[in-house]
Amino acid sequence: MQNVMEIRSAAQLMKELAEELVDRGHMVSVLTTWPLYNIAEKQELDSIQATAIENGVNVQRIKTY
């Protein structure tokens, strides 16, 4: 599964925290908004899924205004 990578530092810190908690044996779920900007180059918004498991983290994305 492809990881969605926003390039802002806060997003990166939260990603690292979630992955570290998974590494320590915790079940981690994240609810986040749909990325609209600040994503890594070469990543297409059409390929992003609403529900995904990324590096052991259950990710749910919602569309907002």
Per-residue pLDDT of the chain (65 residues; tens, 9 = 90+): 456 655 567 888 899 999 999 999 999 999 998 877 666 655 666 678 899 999 999 999 998 88
**Which residues span the domain enclosing 14?**
9-62
CA of 39: how far to CAs of 8, 43, 46, 56, 57, in Å? 8, 7, 12, 21, 19
Q: Using DSSP, state whether 16 is helix, strand or coil.
A: helix
Q: Answer yes or no: pTM beyond 0.75.
A: no
Q: Using DSSP, state whether 55 is helix, strand or coil.
A: coil
Q: How many domains does the chain have?
A: 1
* Residue 35 covered by a domain: yes
* Residue 2 covered by a domain: no
* Residue 1 covered by a domain: no
* Residue 22 covered by a domain: yes
* Residue 28 covered by a domain: yes
* Residue 38 covered by a domain: yes
* Residue 41 covered by a domain: yes
Q: Are 35 and 46 in contact (CB under 8 A)?
A: no
